[in-house]
Structure 1
Amino acid sequence: MSLSSPKAPGATAPDQPVQTGFIHSLRALKHRDFAIFWIGAILTNTGKFITTLAVPMVIYQMTGSATMVGLVATFQYVPGVIMGPIGGSLADKLNRRKVIIFAQIGMMLSTFAMFLAWNAGVREPYAILWLVALIAVFNGMTLPGWAAFINDLVPRSDLMSGVTLNSLQGNISKAMGPAIAGAIIASVGVNWAFLCSALSFLFVLTALFLLRTVPISFSSHVQGNILKQNIDAGAYIWLKKGIFVAILLSVLIGLLGNPIYSLTVVLGKDVYGVDAGGVGALSLALGLGAIFSAPLVAGLHDRLKMSQMIGGSVVVYGLGLTVIGLTDSFVVAMVALVAIGVAALGALASINTAIQLMVATHFRGRVLGLRHVVYTLSFPVGGLLTGWLADLHGVQTSILACGIVMIVVPIILYAVPGSVRMVRLNDPHDDQIERLEASRAA
């Protein structure tokens, strides 16, 4: 699987120092299959995010209703939440690569149907929204398997690099996709945006067919129907307190950290008095922080424990929000938003890596699926909570409160004794099934 000479995971030559730094943080790209998959993913996801701008634009064009535009997010998120546990079970029970291929083909055909509908003159908003929901169904199916598949493409010693680079391609895609959509729509029209989005899925499908990696299956240890499988996974998360703490912190970020991405609009208008370009600059600061921090985040994993990396990132996130809650300076806010972008990638990539390092192989897909569900559900809840506080006390007070809580929670998890503690993020891999399989083979 690797282009480099084979070594035991984490092994280093006795006469060579442990490598760190920018180049070493990109080490997952040394592995042929990961590099192919990563390139295909960034091209496809960039195309996929073209519709995040194109769909709201056509819905508003057809209806003139901001409420209908708001419904786009509902049709994008709800089916994914429903499909998350199903996708997790499929990722544990079936060949992950085949599950991803099936789901990507489903998204491609659904997007192509959107192109055909628009090209045929269909201007019914719910026809477009239901196609958005169908795309979300396949997306929810693929996400747990996609996240778990990274573990199949790189050795455990390079997992942090692999997960961080996967997060990086997601952030690049989110930044580039809407920008490309705007250029396409302005020059040749919405129908071409839909077509380009549909065709972009060919990149990752080609990459998946080129891979040599055969995912290791422990499906014989996955028992019962999908409901029972996910109940078992929920019980497993509660038993493995390190995984529980990781998911708890991801929910904290979703509830109190994620709303800043939408509140930049309110900040720009009500606090800093900037125009649309200024609001765009605030959003760009978040994206740039995430993009440029990826090598730093991957490199720090070689020097810090997971509890330090995640705890420190969440605290920095909270400090950034606190600064924004207190400052009236547009420039200071920009700097704080860059720091938040850095912290967001550091926290979420490290949380995903910590879960993958700790979880038993036969639970990986379902645990990641359930984590996706609760994390995604925290978005609308956090948005409603922070919006309510902003209406009552002002947007800066709302953001300040979120920042303080995000600083305090990790400190409590460090200081308070018990089983739910930050140090549990350093728990070792649950390798009971691997050892059982090895003993059977012997």
Structure 2
Amino acid sequence: MSSPPASTDPAPRRQFSYALRALRHRNFCLFFIGQFISRTGYWMQGMALGWLVYRLSDSPFMLGLSSFVGQIPAVILGLFAGVVADRFSRYRVCLCTQVLFMLQALTLGVLTLSGTVAVWQVLSLALLAGVLLTFEMPARQTFLQEIVPKEDLTSAIALNSALVNAARILGPALAGLLVASFGEGACFTINGICYLAIIGGFWAMRLPKETPPPPPTTSTWAFIREGVTYAVHTPAIRLLLLLIALLSLLTTPYTVLMPVFAKDILHGGPGAMGTLMGAAGAGAVVGVYFLARQRNTKNLGRFITFALLRLAVGLILFSCSRNFWLSLLLLPLVGSGFMVPMSSANTLLQTLTPAPLQGRVMSLFLMMFMGAPPIGSLLAGALAPHIGAPLTVGMTGVACLGAAGWFWLKVPLLEQATSAQEERDEQATLRAAEATRG
């Protein structure tokens, strides 16, 4: 009896290629490759910086403070960053900030390798990086729409999240090896060199000739107020921004306290910390791959809810674990549970927001994403010495359960907004086709 023929169903292959559809565009490919290399260096520096601060200070509070100073600029300057993204060339903003990021990393590397680095210097350079990120992120997120068409935006955002988290796997793992062998300064220096990849990618892009933006007709404050008013009075946008703030707040403690888990609870070193952070990144990559396969935005609300449940379960079980290998198996739940809602919210914000307001709305995204963690960082640093790192992280997992229930009740609102936007897009397409025929 002959065996049945092998399946030739092309559906899985079609789904895979559909998830990667943004890579059909040359400029996005250049962006993708450069971002992967530079983000690998970024995560190397992030892991090494936390380890350096903890080694110099032996203080969970200083760990929290180092995270705080890197994130607080988004709260203070975030609205102005949105104005810059909407009024100036997003390409030039991205390019200039990458150059400055490179100089910041190389400076930190020189100080550390020379043996003269002090905690105050690390904090100062972390503050500078926070200022740069505040202006770079809204411009970078909205720049994606200039290198991919709108129908490929979900794929582009998901792939961008995937590359960030693939770098999150590779970067900390490499950093653990480098810190153990050569010290933290090697990670900072290599990060600076890695920025050459994304700078070169921007230089190699073929973009249409830029049209100079019209001179502003309103004051900066009026421009800011317009964006804030739109976000506050649009229920779906307001819901997504609140979700981002809550998600950022609740996931900060476990990342800030990871050196404590790696060293004091799981009895490992920098290599163990890098591996743990890489496991969370692996879960995020898998999660955003399934997000990239989504063909419309109607189901993203339910996608977000189930991801929040995974996040809650992962944080609670991770906080209870005292075994390194068990912790390694649990962290992919945490990584997926964090990145899928974040990427989904990013996609929905850019899909639902009118083009002239996207920079300012994405600056509010940045403020929520970067503004809530300073509170979480300080809370983690203040609570951990008294109740312990495990209980601190476990409490955030319980809070995530509540967040999942709250968001589930809001899913119908989000589905109505996405359906209405799809109808508007279809009508705009029809009008454009009629105008072309006419």
TM-score grouping bracket, smaller chain normalisation: 0.7 to 0.9
Q: Distance in 2 between matches of 1:111 and 1:144?
A: 21
Matched residue type, 2:418:
N
Instruction: Provide the secondary structure at the position in 2 that maps to 1:49.
Output: helix
Bigger shift: residues 324-333 or 94-103: 324-333
Bigger shift: residues 117-126 or 154-163: 117-126
- Residue 315 of structure 1 and its aligned partner are, at CA, apart by 3.0
Does the CA contact (< 8 Å) of 2:62 and 2:381 recur in 1? no
**Equivalent position of 1:345 in the other structure:** 339
Q: Distance in 1 between matches of 2:395 and 2:178?
A: 41
**Equivalent position of 1:172 in the other structure:** 166
Is residue 320 from structure 1 mapped to residue 327 from structure 2 by the alignment? no
Bigger shift: residues 178-187 or 369-378: 178-187
**Equivalent position of 1:377 in the other structure:** 371
**Equivalent position of 2:7 in the other structure:** none
**Equivalent position of 2:142 in the other structure:** 148
1:318-349 deviation per Cα after TM superposition (whole angstroms, max 9, x unaligned) = 34345556778876655443222222221111
**Equivalent position of 2:195 in the other structure:** 201
**Higher helix proportion, which one?**
2
Q: Distance in 1 between matches of 2:58 and 2:267?
A: 24
Going from structure 1 to structure 2, the CA distance change for 1:313 and 1:422 (only over 3 Å counts) comes to: farther
- Of the three residues 60, 69, 80, the one matched with 1:86 is 80
**Equivalent position of 1:27 in the other structure:** 21
**Equivalent position of 1:48 in the other structure:** 42
Matched residue type, 1:111:
A
Q: Distance in 1 between matches of 2:244 and 2:205?
A: 31
Instruction: Provide the secondary structure at the position in 2 that maps to 1:259.
Output: helix
Instruction: Provide the secondary structure at the position in 1 that maps to 2:243.
Output: helix
Q: Distance in 1 between matches of 2:168 and 2:393?
A: 23
Instruction: Provide the secondary structure at the position in 1 that maps to 2:293.
Output: helix
**Equivalent position of 1:423 in the other structure:** 415
1:252-287 deviation per Cα after TM superposition (whole angstroms, max 9, x unaligned) = 2112234333455666788x7654576665444322
Q: Distance in 1 between matches of 2:95 and 2:77?
A: 16
Instruction: Provide the secondary structure at the position in 2 that maps to 1:213.
Output: coil
Matched residue type, 1:426:
T
1:346-403 deviation per Cα after TM superposition (whole angstroms, max 9, x unaligned) = 1111110010101111111111111111221211323455676777777666555544
Map 1:259-270; keep pairs closer than 5 Å: 259-263=253-257
Does the CA contact (< 8 Å) of 2:64 and 2:380 recur in 1? no
Does the CA contact (< 8 Å) of 2:65 and 2:377 recur in 1? no
Q: Distance in 2 between matches of 1:143 and 1:181?
A: 24
- Unaligned 5+ segments in structure 1 are 1-15
Going from structure 1 to structure 2, the CA distance change for 1:304 and 1:267 (only over 3 Å counts) comes to: farther
Q: Distance in 2 between matches of 1:64 and 1:316?
A: 34
**Equivalent position of 1:406 in the other structure:** 400
Q: Distance in 1 between matches of 2:114 and 2:393?
A: 45
Going from structure 1 to structure 2, the CA distance change for 1:396 and 1:223 (only over 3 Å counts) comes to: farther
Does the CA contact (< 8 Å) of 1:184 and 1:193 recur in 2? yes
Aligned residue pairs total: 421
Going from structure 1 to structure 2, the CA distance change for 1:82 and 1:404 (only over 3 Å counts) comes to: same
Q: Distance in 1 between matches of 2:172 and 2:415?
A: 39
Matched residue type, 1:423:
E
Does the CA contact (< 8 Å) of 1:40 and 1:206 recur in 2? yes
- Residue 136 of structure 1 and its aligned partner are, at CA, apart by 2.7
Going from structure 1 to structure 2, the CA distance change for 1:182 and 1:319 (only over 3 Å counts) comes to: closer
Does the CA contact (< 8 Å) of 1:100 and 1:145 recur in 2? yes
Going from structure 1 to structure 2, the CA distance change for 1:344 and 1:217 (only over 3 Å counts) comes to: farther
**Equivalent position of 2:281 in the other structure:** 287
1:15-39 deviation per Cα after TM superposition (whole angstroms, max 9, x unaligned) = x999852232111111111011110
Q: Distance in 2 between matches of 1:41 and 1:205?
A: 9
Going from structure 1 to structure 2, the CA distance change for 1:83 and 1:424 (only over 3 Å counts) comes to: farther
Q: Distance in 1 between matches of 2:201 and 2:404?
A: 40
- Residue 155 of structure 1 and its aligned partner are, at CA, apart by 1.4
Q: Distance in 2 between matches of 1:279 and 1:202?
A: 27
Bigger shift: residues 35-44 or 47-56: 47-56
**Equivalent position of 1:210 in the other structure:** 204
Map 1:101-250; keep pairs closer than 5 Å: 101-117=95-111, 122-184=116-178, 192-214=186-208, 219-220=213-214, 223-250=217-244
- Unaligned 5+ segments in structure 2 are 1-9
CA RMSD for the aligned pairs?
4.0
Q: Which has the higher contact order (CA 8 A, sep 6+)?
A: 2
Going from structure 1 to structure 2, the CA distance change for 1:409 and 1:184 (only over 3 Å counts) comes to: closer
Going from structure 1 to structure 2, the CA distance change for 1:160 and 1:221 (only over 3 Å counts) comes to: farther
1:33-84 deviation per Cα after TM superposition (whole angstroms, max 9, x unaligned) = 10111101111222233332444555566x5553555543233222344333
Matched residue type, 2:79:
P
**Equivalent position of 2:5 in the other structure:** none
**Identity over the aligned pairs, expressed in percent?**
24
